[in-house]
Amino acid sequence: MQLLNSSVGRKIIMAVTGLLLISFVVIHLLGNSSVFFGADGINAYAKHLHDLGPLVWVFRLIMLTLFALHIWFGLQLTLENSAAKPIGYAQKKRLRTTFAAETMIVSGVAILAFVVYHLLHFTVQVTNPEISAGNLPLDAMNRPDVFTMVVLSFQKTFIALVYAVAMLFLLFHVSHGFQSFFQTLGLNSKKSLPVFGKISKGLALVLFVGYLSIPVLIFVGLVKI
C-alpha cells in the first residue's frame, strides 16, 4: 500500500508493468511473424494458442491488469508532474529531454485506442465481420482461417493505415519507455545511460519495422492468399 502512495512507488509500478507489456509486444511480434509462412504458419499458431483453453483467460486477465495499472499510474504521474511544473515563465526552459519523452501520454493514449480497435478487429471480430475468421470457411486443416482474415484486412487501405500510424506511436513510446525502466530502478550510471538509450531506440526500431512489415507487405501484394 505504501508503494502505491509514494511517487517513487508508482514509478516503479509503471516501470515493471511497462517492461512486462514490452515483453508481450516482443513475443506477439514473434508469433505474428508466422503470417509469413502462410496459412500453415499463423493458423497453426492461432490454433495452438486457442487450444490452451482456460490458460488463455488467465493470460488475458494478467494482461488486462498490467494494462490497467500502467495506464492508471501513467495518468496519475502525468497529472502530478504538470501540477508540479513552475508557471509564470515567459519562455519555457527546455531541459535535456526528447520529443518521445515529452509525448509519452499522447503516444500512450494512442496505443490504448489502437489496442481497443485491434481487439475489436482481430479478437472479438466485430469491426469487419465480412472478413472475420469466424465468418470465413475453415482452412484445409479445419482451423479458423486467421491468415485470410489478416491478409484481407491489410488489403484495405484504412485498416493498413490505422496499423501503420499506431506502430509509429509504439515506436516513440517504447524508445523512451524502455530506457525509463532502467532509470527508474536506478540501474543507470552516467556511463551506462547513453547505452540504455541506444538499446531502447534499437528495440523500438526493430519492433516498428517488424510490426509495420506485416501490413505493408500485404498491402503491396508481396504476401497474398
- Give dist(CA 167, CA 170) in Å, integer: 5
Contact stretch for ligand HEM (CB under 6 A) within 4-12, 85-93, 135-143, 211-219: 211-219
Total residues in contact with ligand HEM, by rule CB under 6 A: 19
Tell whether residue 47 is a contact of ligand HEM (CB under 6 A). no
For residue 124, the 8-state DSSP code is S
Tell whether residue 211 is a contact of ligand HEM (CB under 6 A). yes
Shortest spacing between CB 201 and ligand HEM, in angstroms: 17
Tell whether residue 18 is a contact of ligand HEM (CB under 6 A). no
Using H for helix, E for strand and C for coil, what is the string for 165-215? HHHHHHHHHHHHHHHHHHHHCCCCCCCHHHHHHHHHHHHHHHHHHHHHHHH
- Give dist(CA 22, CA 202) in Å, integer: 13
- Residue at grid coordinates 487501405: 157
Q: Which of 123, 142, 157, 189 binds ligand HEM (CB under 6 A)?
A: 123
Question: Is the Cβ–Cβ distance between 218 and 155 less than 8 Å?
Answer: yes
Contact stretch for ligand HEM (CB under 6 A) within 68-76, 82-90, 112-120, 188-196: 112-120
Cα four-point dihedral sign 216, 219, 223, 225:
positive
- String of contacts with ligand HEM for each residue 129-168, x by CB under 6 A: -----------------x---x------------x-----
Shortest spacing between CB 150 and ligand HEM, in angstroms: 6
Question: Is the Cβ–Cβ distance between 115 and 122 less than 8 Å?
Answer: no
| Interface residues toward ligand HEM, by CB under 6 A | 25, 28, 32, 46, 60, 63, 111, 115, 118-119, 122-123, 146, 150, 163, 170, 211, 214-215
